Structure 1
Amino acid sequence: MTQEVLCGLVGGKSIEWLRQIENGKRDVDKLSTIVAVAEALKIAPSELLPGPFRTTARATRSLGSAPEVVPEIQASMLRHDGIAGLLNLPNRPVSPEHLRRTVERAFVCSQTERWSDMAPLVPDMISDAWHLVRNAETDDERRQAFGLQALVYRVTSGMLDRLGESHLPWVAAERSMHAAEQTGDPLLIAGGAWRLAVVLRHAGRLTESTDVPVAAADALRHRLDHPEAYSVYGSLMLKGAVGAATLGDHKGVRDYLAEASRAAEVIGDRNDYWFAFGPTNVAIHRAWLSLELSDPAKAIELASFVPHDKLPRVLAERRTSHLITVAWAHYLKRQDREALDALTAAKAAAPEQLLFTRRVHVMLQGMLKRERRSIKSDLRAMAGFVGTVA
């Protein structure tokens, strides 16, 4: 296939645009562009998506160590699945309350992006959840066990996703969904759909990443009679808006965002089911969506209205994600000082999030290439912290 033909198939891009990407002079900053190129080449988007990400440096011994636990997590996932019966694993009692406390601790780590603290918890959580399901004798015990297993795999999928694993987050998300379905709890099932939407998007399955959360939200419409239901419903609508933005569907973004906004107005800021849903999270998404729809100036304007500094410490991930969005918007406008200031604030809130966010590394690489004297010292210090080289 010639460059001219490929450019035509991905929306009439110029040959110079393609050459700049091939030479590393231009970043492909939108997932939809990667998917469009993959479709034109008749290959799976995963073949063009970046491989598992590994930070190349650590600030301290306590940061950046989570990837070292991934092989142990993978082994636990393998042992505690279909082959468990073949392995004849010895039975052992598990306290539901102990597992629940561990799951809660894991979600706190997730929402504060403390992956090096969370990772060591995961192998035993997977094992404990499996044994709890195996030991359940009554219907109530089974529902409780499957409910905890659904949460174990949901939080595990999120961590593995952040660490850049490609296959394991999908497996964990499917197991979370399966366990949730065994409970018959519509909110747990919807939470599983939310996580599936994330891994679908990261796998380049953009249409499904929109359809799944919207369908799950629609299934909750007749259950919106308490705050927890509104939280999950609104979170799913936000995920639908994310998928629509990735597809370039402006109307879908407006519609889903409006639904999320209405839900947020009803309940205010909450953290039901660890979704951190409410008006503040809607505002954070509104800025991100403008950026995804190629309007960094609008994103910067909207970001100025987000009261991220008022978010509780336990929601550090939300604050840091927002600041990374702000940094990326300034970076695209070549406002490197402002971008670096936003990254510095993000580092103060959740340093490990910077280590394991590819967009941060892309930004720093770009700024290092066009290094400006006024920010040289601060830029190199930040690049050294996250392990980025030009």
Structure 2
Amino acid sequence: MGRRVAYWRGRRGMSQQVFADRLSKSKSWVDKIERGVRRLDKYSVITEIAAVLQIDAGQLVTSEPAHKPHHITLLDQIEIENIRQSLERYERLGLFLDAAEIEAPDLAVLRNQVAYTWSAYEKGHYPNVTRSLIELLRTVPAAESNAEGAEKAGAAELVSQVYQISSSVLRKIGESALAWLAADRAISAANRGDDELLVGTSATRVANALRSQGRHDAAFDINIQVAHGMISHYRDAADPETLSVYGLLLLQGAMAASHTGDTASTRDLLSSAEKAAQRLGGDADYYWTSFGPTNVELHKVAAHIELGEGHAAVQTAEKIPPQALDNLVAERRAHHHLDLSRACLQTGDMERAKANILTAHAIAPAEIQCRPIAMDVVEQILNRYRGEPGSALRRLASEVGVSA
């Protein structure tokens, strides 16, 4: 967060002294904040800093610093550029753009390809995901255009899924604007299909993309509005698919609330999600949500971290049964250990921070090697570690392109 403060101070053309004067602080205080020597733990101070910098507070507390250049060591930049170009095309305007005809495979073949891509995403195999997306972003929209009758809705649902996967991966690697574009298209495609739950999952992608841009209030609103809409529409529905999507919306709403420092809303939403998980009866992965009691606990940990409650995050994590955690998909487990590493940074426990980031890397290497937030964590551990951090962390730092 200190680097983000320094970045925006520079963008506003303020020296440390001028900035300090406007905050009624000392220049030394500002310098320590920007170097990470002193932590920003109070949300009231963060909002005061944001006001002086003339930005939304979310742009300081966002987990994915958009300004920080990132080194994607596992993803080919040409592949990312191909995905960008696919999202910038508008195949549905082909009649007016005189677009070249794309021969789309049979829908059954496409369903298998989309299922494989979802599986690769949940395993954290992001290089495989991006390679699949390059082809799917070309062929699935064409399949919808070519489909007739009852197949039209099914093809639109595949389009929504492909855009949802695209949004999730792009958000992880720091491409928040493209992630929002893909998520927005996912909702449009879902509305053309017959599966209403895809609208719910698409809404969480939009909200997450907004959150990665620091627009936490907007992210909160969309999650809550869609969740309330599901309550009105399905009333007391208890089927596992509906409960899972509803629960996911509540969890993402809680995360958006935690980013704004809204402790009350965060806890209320987590409590509601917990009740939905109890009704579900156990952990499951309907609609790629990984929703259930364990994932609720993982989000409690993440929310504590965003609220600056590192000790509470660690204590909550310690109560999660290891077997239950092991049963989740690799992407969820690696993400959790990355979160735990951040919690340990807040508590000053560099040894456990190191252990968790290495565990996350062992579970899903791309979750660490492709994400700006993970690179930031590795860099912080290196710079704050007392003594020799060890060869394993040194190797990881080298892989992600950071140094002490």
Please say if residues 112 and 314 of structure 1, whose CA atoms lie closer than 8 Å, have aligned partners that are also in contact.
no
Q: Distance in 1 between matches of 2:349 and 2:294?
A: 25
Q: Does 1:300 align with 2:314?
A: yes
What are the equivalent positions in structure 2 for 1:202-241 lying under 5 Å apart? Answer: 202-222=212-232, 223=234, 224-241=237-254
TM-score by length of 1: 0.88
Please say if residues 146 and 180 of structure 1, whose CA atoms lie closer than 8 Å, have aligned partners that are also in contact.
yes
Q: Does 1:154 align with 2:145?
A: no
Greater CA drift, 368-377 or 250-259: 368-377
Greater CA drift, 46-55 or 219-228: 46-55
Q: Distance in 1 between matches of 2:277 and 2:68?
A: 35
Quote the residue 2:193 is aligned against: 183
What SS is found at the alignment partner of 2:389? helix
Q: Which runs of 5+ in 1 are unaligned?
A: 59-63
Q: Distance in 2 between matches of 1:298 and 1:161?
A: 27
Seen in structure 2, the aligned counterparts of structure 1 residues 97 and 40 have a Cα distance that, compared at 3 Å, is farther
Please say if residues 216 and 256 of structure 2, whose CA atoms lie closer than 8 Å, have aligned partners that are also in contact.
yes
What are the equivalent positions in structure 2 for 1:64-83 lying under 5 Å apart? Answer: 64-81=74-91, 83=93
Residue 7 of structure 1: CA displacement? 3.0
Please say if residues 257 and 282 of structure 1, whose CA atoms lie closer than 8 Å, have aligned partners that are also in contact.
yes
Quote the residue 1:340 is aligned against: 354
Letter in 2 for 1:175: R
Q: Percent same amino acid at aligned positions? A: 30
Quote the residue 2:70 is aligned against: 54
Quote the residue 2:140 is aligned against: 129
Q: Does 1:100 align with 2:111?
A: yes
Q: Does 1:290 align with 2:304?
A: yes
User: Residue 109 of structure 1: which of 120, 127, 142 is its match?
Assistant: 120
Quote the residue 2:19 is aligned against: 3
Q: Distance in 1 between matches of 2:345 and 2:396?
A: 15
Please say if residues 310 and 346 of structure 2, whose CA atoms lie closer than 8 Å, have aligned partners that are also in contact.
yes
Residue 321 of structure 1: CA displacement? 1.1
Residue 30 of structure 1: CA displacement? 10
Residue 81 of structure 1: CA displacement? 3.4
What SS is found at the alignment partner of 1:234? helix
Please say if residues 358 and 393 of structure 2, whose CA atoms lie closer than 8 Å, have aligned partners that are also in contact.
no
> Which structure 1 residue ranges, 4+ long, deviate > 6 Å from structure 2?
27-36, 44-48
Q: Distance in 2 between matches of 1:15 and 1:231?
A: 50
TM-score by length of 2: 0.85
Q: Does 1:275 align with 2:298?
A: no
Q: Does 1:359 align with 2:369?
A: no
Please say if residues 30 and 246 of structure 1, whose CA atoms lie closer than 8 Å, have aligned partners that are also in contact.
no
Residue 257 of structure 1: CA displacement? 0.5
Residue 253 of structure 1: CA displacement? 0.8
Across the aligned residues of Structure 1 and Structure 2, the Cα RMSD in angstroms comes to 2.7
Q: Distance in 1 between matches of 2:384 and 2:55?
A: 34
Seen in structure 2, the aligned counterparts of structure 1 residues 242 and 272 have a Cα distance that, compared at 3 Å, is same
Please say if residues 68 and 372 of structure 2, whose CA atoms lie closer than 8 Å, have aligned partners that are also in contact.
no
Q: Distance in 2 between matches of 1:240 and 1:3?
A: 34
Residue 360 of structure 1: CA displacement? 2.6
Residue 4 of structure 1: CA displacement? 4.4
Letter in 2 for 1:218: H
Greater CA drift, 234-243 or 110-119: 110-119
Q: Does 1:382 align with 2:396?
A: yes
Quote the residue 1:20 is aligned against: 32
Quote the residue 1:61 is aligned against: none
Please say if residues 94 and 131 of structure 1, whose CA atoms lie closer than 8 Å, have aligned partners that are also in contact.
no
Letter in 2 for 1:7: L
Quote the residue 2:267 is aligned against: 254
Greater CA drift, 324-333 or 250-259: 324-333
Seen in structure 2, the aligned counterparts of structure 1 residues 93 and 300 have a Cα distance that, compared at 3 Å, is closer
What SS is found at the alignment partner of 2:67? coil
Figure out how many residues of one structure are paired with residues of the other and give that number. Answer: 379
What SS is found at the alignment partner of 2:227? helix
Please say if residues 173 and 372 of structure 2, whose CA atoms lie closer than 8 Å, have aligned partners that are also in contact.
no
